Chain A
Amino acid sequence: MPHANPSPFTVSIDSPISEHLYVTDGLLPPHQIERLRPSDPSLPISELRQRLESDNYLFLKGLLPRADVLKAREAYFNFLSPSGVLKPGTKAVEGIFDSSKDITGFPGIGAGSTGGNSKPGGEQAEAFVDLALKAHTEGWYAEDFCKHPVLKDFVAKLSGWGDDTLLFRRSLLRNNIPGAHAIGVHYDQIFLRYGEVSNLTAWCPLGDIKINGGGLIYLKNSMSRLSERGAVLTWWNQVNLWVRKWKLNSLEKPRRTV
């Protein structure tokens, strides 16, 4: 597959963004956007920790071997191809949508395209969604990709959790066809209500994504102060739909999960 993006670090974080960036409610005006700060995984671990703490995120360029990621991409699209999603004559690894098809037959999962994350209707859509869900338990994903030693080892080092680092079995393998429903504004604790707050999410693009190609975007300074995190926990307690007391001291004592 062609190398669609400029090389790591050749784009200055301060360089202007010329692409038009559309979100669900229209064009994002220039004053509302900035570039995500990339980090070289070989920087000193103390610097990387500091960035994660201050920014809520750590954007690691080229952490995983490109070939391994593309292998998972190829396997994914091969797996989905019986649904007719791919353009005839194209390679699975390219993941090119057959634009002669109606996109409503290929709804993304986990992006809230339907209320309560229920399955969207229609026979074609059901076949596609079934495959997309089943992909989560295939060996090339659940074993080879999700348990990639480079990722696990890096997080073990970064977090200081070492050999106690645990991988959540929970993951979301999401596709997003051009023009399909984009994931709305969220933070992951919404979906991890019973979980400790000291986990990390690894978002891994399975291929190259242009700046306006549907990759994740992050809110700057989402919640960088502990007082605000405390407020979130307090709020969950107040709402208390799930009758669970949060362990506030877990903010100081990170648990060992990725």
Chain B
Amino acid sequence: MEAEFFRKAKKDGLNDEEAKSAFNNNMMVTGLLSEAPAEFAKQVNRRWLVSAYEAGDVVLHDPFAVSCSFH
């Protein structure tokens, strides 16, 4: 994700410092990537995976799995 961001930033003529700053500015004050999951999925051209859950279910995920929840 960051790699894609930097590629785009370079293409648009930003130098490394400007690109870093721009990415940081895109991080939320809460540390989140985005508060807009629909727009986010569109930007990165990926889908959200959804499910009902039952007591006893467990989802294991690695530290790079991107997630959020419904409103």
Residue numbers of A with Cβ under 8 A of B are 3-6, 8, 11, 17, 21-29, 31-38, 52, 56-66, 69-70, 73, 111-112, 114-117, 151, 155, 158, 176, 179, 182-192, 195, 197, 199-223, 227-229, 231-232, 235, 238-239
Q: In whole angstroms, what is the CA distance A183 to B34 when docked?
A: 10
Q: Do residues A220 and B53 form an inter-chain contact, with CB atoms below 8 A?
A: no
Q: Which residues of A contact B11 (CB under 8 A)?
A: none
Q: Do residues A22 and B56 form an inter-chain contact, with CB atoms below 8 A?
A: no
Q: Do residues A185 and B50 form an inter-chain contact, with CB atoms below 8 A?
A: no
Q: Do residues A211 and B51 form an inter-chain contact, with CB atoms below 8 A?
A: yes
Q: Does B14 contact A (CB under 8 A)?
A: no
Most B-side CB within 10 Å, residue of A179, A209, A232: A209
Q: Do residues B58 and A60 form an inter-chain contact, with CB atoms below 8 A?
A: yes
Other-chain contact of B46, A29, A61, A214, A221 (Cβ < 8 Å): A221
Q: A60-B60, A215-B70 are in contact. List 7 more A-B contacts (CB 8 A).
A: A21-B50, A22-B71, A23-B68, A35-B50, A183-B67, A184-B37, A188-B64
Q: Which residues of B contact A223 (CB under 8 A)?
A: 1, 64-66
Q: Do residues A28 and B38 form an inter-chain contact, with CB atoms below 8 A?
A: yes
Do A204 and B67 form a contact, CB below 8 Å, given A32-B41, A217-B37, A235-B2?
no
Other-chain contact of B61, A57, A61, A70, A213 (Cβ < 8 Å): A57
**Chain A: CB-nearest residue to B42:** A32
Q: Which residues of B contact A186 (CB under 8 A)?
A: 31-33, 66-68
How many whole Å from A95's CB to the nearest CB in chain B? 11
Most A-side CB within 10 Å, residue of B42, B47, B60: B60
Q: Which residues of B contact A220 (CB under 8 A)?
A: 46-49
Q: Which residues of A contact B62 (CB under 8 A)?
A: 52, 56-57, 199-201
Do A185 and B56 form a contact, CB below 8 Å, given A117-B30, A216-B68, A218-B61?
no
Other-chain contact of A217, B20, B28, B49, B55 (Cβ < 8 Å): B49
Q: List 9 A-B contacts (CB under 8 A).
A: A23-B68, A34-B47, A52-B60, A112-B30, A116-B30, A186-B31, A211-B52, A219-B47, A228-B3
